[in-house]
Structure 1
């Protein structure tokens, strides 16, 4: 033990310090305490960086560190987001035979035939914003909510623990298949730990129960089978990934060139291409079967539309466009600007999909990263946990700007220090100046931002 301590003294100190900070973060932090929140977060990032720097060749050491960091949160109630209350609300509705897509929580609470007493704590926890809107969580997500309610029975904490275990298992799966993808790309295997040990990933997914990790697990498995030329299995997992979170829909155009390969389309490639997309959409649509109703489509589309023309949080270019709109029009132009910027994203993605050589795996991974990064740069709403997708994708490329993004995104949490969640636009400007500075340095100047790793 003593010889091991002598050769691993600093990494062990980093790990022990990290576990203490994670414990404080999980059990002794209010999100309104901005100074403490940011202080602990920055310290965790330092320990994360230095531990990988010292132990990048010691896979088991880093694996144990990542697992212990997640276990710290196992019985913690999420403290940065109250979304989990809505998760449990939807799961309880499904268990009680009520379609979670066709009623808002406030509508149900006003229904005299609804057993409101069993749901009151969940309603109070989720807040008025969530309670006033229909559920936007796709069916596979709803399955996890239902299972959380089933295994948690009447205990909110029991449901939290079950969902948290599922998210941890998804991260382990990402570690396993991500390592395989890195091997296929001839990239260092330790790069998977830029995801697995990232404090942002541990806090936002394991800690705050966001389902990006489960969506990313199915996405990584889909990519693995696609590059193994097992496109049917890949399509199955892609469909399930979309049914956890809709985000992977953004990536579908990039597989057109993958099936085209280096040659022009022939009958075999066209058939595989069409069957791949058919399987993806059949799986996705099939997951909605248990929830089919006359109101489903209209309510769901209405809810998804809110992300383009109603909600605003931690945006970058959109905030600049909004200020121009205030100056020229005198009012918030989100309803028109949000839709137009979404259309710009659509054109950008099509351009990447058809112009770049996406039949090559390295090019494909870079295209996926650039697509999702551009999408978020144009979005009206960028909640911190959204960044999990570019963080994972970047480890399969030579670019690491999303790692810095996952650090500076913590600045957006300053909004929760205010009763009305008012954002400090100066801090948002600092966040995106750092991000785009790193982006320009890596992508256009070709200079790495994480050296010697």
Structure 2
């Protein structure tokens, strides 16, 4: 036994040391970082990304080693307070509200705390923590997300730490599910299985999901599971699981039309029907005459009121301000145009691209979602994680570059007014655009080469 341990150490000494160093970095990030300290945040993140790259380079065929490493990194953050996001206060508020028999889609936190300040023992702390913007709007989190919030607060009682711990456990288990089904899907598509570790070891994924309690990982677990089921010709079960993905985050709704060519008309209608019925069943416990109005009103704010880490929008705003266009008018008009362009792109990729294979379908999804984020006025870092996952099953890797450069957007947290640094955002997007164009040209030249042969 000792001899085997010594032998293993001799063979994997450098990767083991890198894992230990990464664990120290994640501990520092989770427990010792003030998000206003941008230099420390940037150095830790770049260090973690470099170590991620080297670990995959050294141990890419050692599945067990990298799986254990990624799990350990997440465990290091198990008891940390989310230090780059305050959204978890709203998660806990919504969960406690449901456990009190009230719908988060019908009651504004700021109103409830005035009308019934003793509804929850920690109501003031939660409303203060979530911020005035969240407290002034109805919940925008879909039904299955709400069930998780309710479960976490029910299991933990009055403990905020306990609620965070339950939600974090759900997110970690979802990441393990992505590792499992993602690897199997890569095998189905005849791709290198080590690619899944560009998700599982990616610092953006670990810090934003496990660390900051964003539920993209839960959505992606159901999404990848559904795609894997489709590869195994299990249409009905895949449709149910796909609906669960939508019920965590709405993004997969965007891709539904693209299944038309993959299934053909009859099967796609069956798929859509099962997705629709499952979604309706999940919504029913929350349904009321005001549900749809309040929910769409809140979701609509993301298109017409908020700005963060925008690419094209910032360039347009810079030009528009020279013509005395009012910023609040620009964002509202821009928010009306963006959905139209995105839906048009969905139609183009649905009807003018061959989506009869899963690999082609996932590539179409990658480009539609990329266009959406390029156009969006609000691109939070954790949004990029969906692109990272999609890219694993395609020939494109520019989302990996974005998962590195997006950390520059966190400069905004280093000042009291959350003012963005447009030079840093320019560097971020130039890196993404540049690498994306390089990949497009390279792929084009590769196809030309093979066509000549």
Normalised-by-shorter TM-score class: over 0.9
Matches within 5 A, 1:37-52: 37-52=41-56
Counterpart residue number, 1:300: 295
Residue matched to 1:32:
36
Matches of residues 41-440 of structure 1 in structure 2 within 5 Å? Answer: 41-112=45-116, 115=119, 117-260=121-264, 270-332=265-327, 333-440=330-437
Q: Identify unmatched segments of 5+ residues in structure 1.
A: 261-269, 449-453
After superposition, what is the alpha-carbon deviation per residue over 1:210-248, rounded to whole angstroms, capped at 9, x for unaligned?
A: 000000000011111112221111110111110100000
Distance 2:444 2:22 in 1: 29
> Residues 187 and 193 of structure 2 are in contact (CA less than 8 Å); yes or no, is this contact kept in structure 1?
yes
How many angstroms apart in 1 are the aligned matches of 2:145 and 2:192?
Answer: 33
Secondary structure at the aligned position of 1:321 is classed as: helix
Residue 325 of structure 1 and its aligned partner are, at CA, apart by 2.7
Task: Return 41-50 or 3-12, whichever deviates more.
Answer: 3-12
> How far apart are 1:326 and its partner, in Å?
2.2
How far off is 1:320 after superposition?
1.6
Instruction: Tell me the number of residue pairs that the alignment of Structure 1 and Structure 2 aligns.
Output: 439
TM-score, normalized by length of structure 2?
0.95
Q: Paired residue for 2:450?
A: none
The CA distance in 2 between the partners of 1:197 and 1:182, in whole Å, is: 17
Instruction: Tell me the secondary structure at the aligned position of residue 229 of structure 1.
Output: coil
Structure 1 CA distance for aligned equivalents of residues 117 and 39 of structure 2: 46
Instruction: Say if 2:117 and 2:124, in contact at 8 Å, map to a contact too.
Output: no
Query: Matched residue of 2:115: which SS?
Result: coil
Q: State the alpha-carbon separation in 2 of the partners of residues 447 and 153 from structure 1.
A: 57
Q: Shift in Å at residue 329 of structure 1?
A: 4.6
* Stretches (4+) displaced over 4 A: none
Match of 2:19 among 2, 5, 15: 15
- Give the Cα separation in 1 of the matches to 2:266 and 2:346: 23
SS at 1:51 equivalent: helix
What CA deviation, in whole Å up to 9, does each residue of 1:282-341 have, x standing for no partner?
A: 211221111111211111110010011111110111112222332335212111112112
RMSD over aligned CA atoms reads 1.4
Q: Between 354-363 and 185-194, report the one with greater CA deviation.
A: 354-363
Give, in angstroms, the shift of residue 83 of structure 1.
0.4
Find the aligned partners of 2:106 and 2:168 in 1 and give their Cα distance. 27
Q: Distance in 2 between matches of 1:142 and 1:377?
A: 29
Q: Where does the alignment leave 5 or more consecutive residues of structure 2 unmatched?
A: 446-453
